[in-house]
Structure 1
Amino acid sequence: MKIEVEVISKEIIKPSSPTPDHLRYLQLSFLDQLAPPVYNPFVLFYEFNGETQPKITEISSHLKKSLADVLTLFYPLAGRVFKQNHFVDCNDEGVPYVEAQVKCSLSDFLNNPIPDELKKFIPLELDDIANELALGVQLNIFECGGFAIGQCISHKIADGLSHFMFSKTWAATALGDEPRIELPEFVSAALFPPKEFNIGYDAGIGITKNRVTKRFVFDSSKIESLKTKYKGKDSSGFNSRVLSLENEKGPSRVEALSAFIWSRFVATTKDDAGHDEKHYIVLHSVNLRPRFDPPLPQHCFGNFYRGAMTAPFLLSSGEECNYGAVIMKVRDEINKINNDYIKRLQQGNEHLSVLQESSDNVIRGEVDTFSFSSFCRFPVYDNDFGWGRPVWVSSPPLTFKNLVVFMDTKEADGIEAYISLEEEVMAKFECDTEFLACVSLSGC
């Protein structure tokens, strides 16, 4: 549902202890430099089921104190990201903390949440590339007394997992749960030294306002049906091999759902260009931490991800998609992101050239790129600030088209898919009968 959110107060929260002088400047890594100049957002919703309900002033005071404390650990978040794309000034200037009144009850909103409305629950514009703020927090108060905590962190200094680990540590700090307080490690620039770019790579390519995001929920039974269906699909012709998922590890939830959504996107768009054939690139974001040898801890803070690029897929008009081939080809590309890949990535130049070439192809309209990012199995519901776990965790839409973000449902192994497409493409995509047959719930 559409909602009205009114800001009632603003202030700046600074770390409870000053950052030492020797930590004043945090150098951005090569991967930080490549990250798009946007904010990673998410919103946690909380309701009260007991008879005793704390006052909003108590909730806010508790959040502000614990935020000040956790900022001493995550000190770059209280600094400013310099536009020169080289470092963060960890100057303790603080983060904006906003309180806002939501003109409806929490239950009314959760009955029919609209993804684009979620942007009202965060304090910063997601594509404000000129903003040097690293973090913003907004406490949203519903008429029923329930509340939502909106957070957004600059993608220039943190990937999705870093954001979730910050929020989890903030919650543990608020709860006084010391064993769950994980200290971040700021080692990204040492592992991926920054570069002076001598070619005009644009990290903001793909940012657009010409897109609409809708939320589709797939329950566990639908996902299991897709996994079973694709497991037996023949993959003849892939790299001149005959592969079958029956002889390999069966498709994961994300693999099966990615192949299905991408195939329906292809079915929707492949005849639009007026050409007999169309090229497609599929990108899957991959967490690099477990792919080091030895693996890095999950609490390493920064951008530790890369996109596994599966390309090109060339489909003729009227040609059907081979699901098994898609899954196997994507899996092969993801498996190539190993320790050897990381060593080459640390050199930087080869990777930058590949990015530039693929970006040029997209700009010229020679290929269609479709991207997937999964937060499934991330600790998104492990955020108890003292009033229980959130009833829902959501992802406000990023300003990219042809993007799918996966998040777990709270229970029962379902998946929420936030799908962003151009408006005219979405109009056809959401009417696809094969797609709708697998959707359990959709949001406008």
Structure 2
Amino acid sequence: MAIKVEIISHEMIKPSSPTPTHLRNLKLSFLDQIAPPIYVPLIFFYNHHQLTLQNLTHHQISQLLKQSLSKTLTVFYPLAGRIHENSSIDCNDSGAEFIEARVHTRALSEILQEPSMEELKKLQPVEILGQDEKVVLKVKICFFDCGGISVAICLSHKIADGTSLVAFVNAWAASSRGEPQNFRPSFDFASVFPPRDLSGLDFTQRIGMTEERIATKRLVFDKEELAKLRNSESSQVKNPTRVEAVSSYIWRRFMDAAKDRGGGTETASFAAVHAVNLRPRKSPPFPQHMFGNCWRPAIAVMSGAEGSDEGELVGKLRAAITRIDGDFIRQVENGEYLNVLSRSVDLFMKGGVEFCNFSSWCRFPVYEVDFGWGKPVWVCTTALPFKNLVILMSTPCGEGIEAWVNVVEEDG
């Protein structure tokens, strides 16, 4: 039986204290400008045993989340604002969207046992990612008939990457637990990566997006499977990371699938595009409290004539990621990166290259998000409007990896 979600309430949560006048206009950084116009989704699940121990009613949970969100928005004030023409955030305290719903017909345990992307999308606060993207933050809490709950958060990619999103959620959770706001974000990336004139490149932010129907599959790699991938004798890299090993494994299968459907010949090329967090790669590193988009893609290219041995792919991927270093970041800071960006856009537009895109969220402390009734039993993302996109997340035990693979439906 299909999941049924009944909307109970819908309101805007505003900061508990007004944003000072001198903070009312926040310029987007160059990296914010070129970020895709989508929401980054995360859903946190908590079972009824956790809530029963706390003896909390639905009303108490809802009020606790609203009040703590309001306090947190005072510190993360741009999240209560509105995006203005891909250039700035009007920090006008309009508020974050907060939806309360009830879920009928299926127990939370059933959803966790056999996740369905169509059902998971019903739990998030927006049906179409990027819809009404001027609203920066949207939240939806769902109460299941079995007693469990889900908390879904969608934050605009125009102001935050995954690192910043998870930092915000953990700060909100700490406030919900009654702890002081120790995390003080800085919204000053525009001084590091000044906004640029993108005329002629204004479509860059939509590169890779598609309006075709996306099918999403979840692949789970446990501890033993990861060990086998990492210890492959064919690997050209000593001790590849779990993420490198899984990414190369999936990249190879994308290549094989392209060749099988006639999209790969000896003259074709295959590119793995891996999102890389710039914060730790700066010397000295960017402070962790710097909030915004601070990532760039590492691009590894393999020609069809080179074959598709996973050991070679790991080496190519490692080399591409290694090139995202201090010198690369200086190019981004001083504007030279516009030339690199232009060449990357040309590569995509000319065709002849099969792209496979990766983003690893494995190190994000998503399983630390405790609103006062314990840590989540599961955390997931949902479908994103990109062809051949893979999101990597840790399993609940932390020893495995879940790969969320987005492909065009006819290729699924």
TM-score norm. by structure 2 comes to 0.94
Per the alignment, residue 328 of structure 2 pairs with 341
* SS across alignment from 2:300: strand
Match of 2:241 among 231, 249, 252: 252
1:9 aligns to 2:9 (yes or no)? yes
Q: Tell me which stretches of 4 or more aligned residues in structure 1 moved more than 4 Å.
A: none
Tell me, in whole angstroms, the C-alpha distance in 2 between the residues paired with 1:126 and 1:175: 32
Structure 1 residues 326-365: aligned runs within 5 Å: 326-348=313-335, 350-365=336-351
Structure 1 residues 19-34: aligned runs within 5 Å: 19-34=19-34
Aligned length in residues: 406
> Bigger CA drift: 358-367 or 203-212?
358-367
Per the alignment, residue 273 of structure 2 pairs with 283
Task: Tell me if the contact between 2:177 and 2:371 (Cα under 8 Å) persists in the aligned partners.
Answer: yes
1:301 aligns to 2:287 (yes or no)? no
Task: Tell me if the contact between 1:115 and 1:215 (Cα under 8 Å) persists in the aligned partners.
Answer: no
Per the alignment, residue 429 of structure 1 pairs with none
Per the alignment, residue 398 of structure 1 pairs with 384
Tell me, in whole angstroms, the C-alpha distance in 1 between the residues paired with 2:313 and 2:184: 39
Task: Tell me if the contact between 1:185 and 1:301 (Cα under 8 Å) persists in the aligned partners.
Answer: yes
* SS across alignment from 1:170: helix
Per the alignment, residue 77 of structure 2 pairs with 75
Tell me, in whole angstroms, the C-alpha distance in 1 between the residues paired with 2:195 and 2:88: 10
CA drift at 1:181: 3.2
Task: Tell me if the contact between 2:48 and 2:149 (Cα under 8 Å) persists in the aligned partners.
Answer: no
> Bigger CA drift: 212-221 or 356-365?
356-365
Per the alignment, residue 173 of structure 2 pairs with 171
Per the alignment, residue 103 of structure 2 pairs with 102
Tell me, in whole angstroms, the C-alpha distance in 1 between the residues paired with 2:244 and 2:2: 33
Per the alignment, residue 221 of structure 2 pairs with 218
Per the alignment, residue 44 of structure 1 pairs with 44
Tell me, in whole angstroms, the C-alpha distance in 1 between the residues paired with 2:155 and 2:125: 11
Per the alignment, residue 438 of structure 1 pairs with none
Tell me, in whole angstroms, the C-alpha distance in 2 between the residues paired with 1:293 and 1:162: 20
Task: Tell me if the contact between 1:28 and 1:189 (Cα under 8 Å) persists in the aligned partners.
Answer: yes
Task: Tell me if the contact between 2:138 and 2:155 (Cα under 8 Å) persists in the aligned partners.
Answer: yes
Task: Tell me if the contact between 1:172 and 1:181 (Cα under 8 Å) persists in the aligned partners.
Answer: no
Distance 1:52 1:337, change over 3 A: closer
> Alpha carbon RMSD of aligned pairs, Å?
1.7
Distance 1:261 1:76, change over 3 A: same
* SS across alignment from 1:60: helix
Identity %, equivalent residues: 45
Tell me, in whole angstroms, the C-alpha distance in 2 between the residues paired with 1:201 and 1:332: 30
CA displacement 1:61-110 (0-9 Å, x = unmatched): 0000000000000000000011x211000000101110111112211211
CA drift at 1:117: 2.4
Letter in 1 for 2:46: Y
Task: Tell me if the contact between 2:273 and 2:298 (Cα under 8 Å) persists in the aligned partners.
Answer: yes
Tell me, in whole angstroms, the C-alpha distance in 1 between the residues paired with 2:131 and 2:327: 33
Structure 1 residues 307-326: aligned runs within 5 Å: 307-311=297-301, 313-316=302-305, 320-326=307-313
Match of 1:262 among 241, 248, 251: 251
Task: Tell me if the contact between 1:173 and 1:181 (Cα under 8 Å) persists in the aligned partners.
Answer: no
Structure 1 residues 390-429: aligned runs within 5 Å: 390-426=376-412
Task: Tell me if the contact between 1:114 and 1:215 (Cα under 8 Å) persists in the aligned partners.
Answer: no
CA drift at 1:364: 3.4
Task: Tell me if the contact between 1:80 and 1:91 (Cα under 8 Å) persists in the aligned partners.
Answer: yes
* SS across alignment from 1:354: helix
> Bigger CA drift: 204-213 or 357-366?
357-366
CA displacement 1:406-431 (0-9 Å, x = unmatched): 000010511110001122322xxxxx
Tell me, in whole angstroms, the C-alpha distance in 2 between the residues paired with 1:282 and 1:357: 16
Tell me, in whole angstroms, the C-alpha distance in 1 between the residues paired with 2:334 and 2:101: 46
Distance 1:338 1:132, change over 3 A: same
Distance 1:362 1:310, change over 3 A: same
Task: Tell me if the contact between 1:279 and 1:367 (Cα under 8 Å) persists in the aligned partners.
Answer: yes
Task: Tell me if the contact between 1:212 and 1:422 (Cα under 8 Å) persists in the aligned partners.
Answer: yes
Letter in 2 for 1:101: R
Task: Tell me if the contact between 1:126 and 1:398 (Cα under 8 Å) persists in the aligned partners.
Answer: no
CA drift at 1:198: 3.1
Structure 1 residues 144-155: aligned runs within 5 Å: 144-155=146-157
Please, which runs of 5 or more residues in structure 2 have no aligned partner?
Answer: none
CA drift at 1:334: 1.1
> Bigger CA drift: 210-219 or 252-261?
210-219
Tell me, in whole angstroms, the C-alpha distance in 2 between the residues paired with 1:301 and 1:251: 30
CA displacement 1:353-379 (0-9 Å, x = unmatched): 332333333233221111110000211
Letter in 2 for 1:336: R
Task: Tell me if the contact between 2:48 and 2:146 (Cα under 8 Å) persists in the aligned partners.
Answer: no
* SS across alignment from 1:97: strand
CA drift at 1:3: 1.6
* SS across alignment from 1:120: helix
Task: Tell me if the contact between 2:54 and 2:373 (Cα under 8 Å) persists in the aligned partners.
Answer: no
Letter in 2 for 1:297: P
CA displacement 1:298-338 (0-9 Å, x = unmatched): 22100000001112x1114xx74122222122111211111
